[in-house]
Amino acid sequence: MPVHIGYAAMLERFPPAEAVTLAALAESHGFTGVMASDHFQPWLPAQGQSSFVWSVLAALGERTTGDLGPGVTTPTFRWHPAMVAQASATLGALYPGRHWLGIGSGEALNEHVVGHYWPEAPERINRMFEAVDVIKKLFAGSLAGRDVRHSGQYFKLESTRLWTMPKVAPQIFVAASGPVTARRAGRNVDGLITTGAPTDRLAALLTRFAEGAREGGRDPSKMPKVLQLHLSWAATDEEAMRNALVEWPNGGMRFARSDIRSPFEFEQLARTVRAEDFEGQMVVSADPDVHRADIQRHLDLGFDRVYLHNVGRNQAEFLEVFGREVLPALRA
């Protein structure tokens, strides 16, 4: 089977028109598909952007031909799940067979802006899975031509349906970084999303996801396992490390970030990140073969879709080099 290596469009770092242009350029170099980040604020003030993901995804659909989806959106605080379902169904209708819906439990950086109480992780995860139930009800009911309702612990939905739907509902992928959430995802949704991490941790996530899938009566080998992989490539190792430290110190932060509310707080924390903090967290190298080996390691682990984010501003050079030297050498 062909290897599925997509482009991660980081909307907290690039203006929307530039992000769309870069995604189209990525496709011209052999990348397949786009994962677009959903942020209300950037991680750091210097990153400087945070455009509306659904508008950008629609533009991406016009400029590219591969799959596309948010990596990931949160249907629990800024959004009611009914609105996420409507946005996703519309995108699916615009680009049949191309759109998938990536869902996460959220971060205070983006979700606290509406002024709601910010709960602990277990409640955020429970909210997410109830939101998934609402979205699945709307997708299924709307395809069947009937209204649905919902009254749960966190959400209510009056009797209604989505009046614009694709012929097939978008697949739903849930983001997980822990084994319990991964197992629930296997039972409840179509696929798993996670980010780069040590091999043992990723292997445990995939195992729990597969267990959940089998508990739900499904074949985990046929369910997408999606990875967003951050990396730093540049013409020299020194430049690659400078890009990591300046543009994406997030990759060297070895602590939970879900409760941090402000880009300016992240800016203060970023000053503590050192070159050695990226070891085992994110590959920083000028050698395309080093990056190829790391991507192949994740494919061998069981991921079947990988979306790459190079942390430098040297996006065009990265896309050209990886399209020529890295992607052709990868094997599923």
Active site residue ranges: 39, 107
Other Cβ atoms closer than 10 A to 135: 26
Calculate the CA dihedral of residues 310, 311, 314, 317 and round it to 10 degrees: -10
Separation of alpha carbons 208 and 216, rounded Å:
12
Minimal CA–CA distance to 31: which of 315, 329, 316, 308?
Answer: 308
Q: For the purposes of burial, counting CB atoms within 10 Å of the CB of 145, is it exposed (0-12), middle (13-18) or buried (19 or more)?
A: exposed
| Amino acid letter, residue 85 | A
| Structure token pair of residue 261 | 């509310």
With tokens 């395809």, the residue in question is 143
Calculate the CA dihedral of residues 309, 97, 1, 225 and round it to 10 degrees: 50
Sign of the torsion formed by the C-alpha atoms of 280, 286, 290 and 292: positive
Number of residues written out for the chain: 332
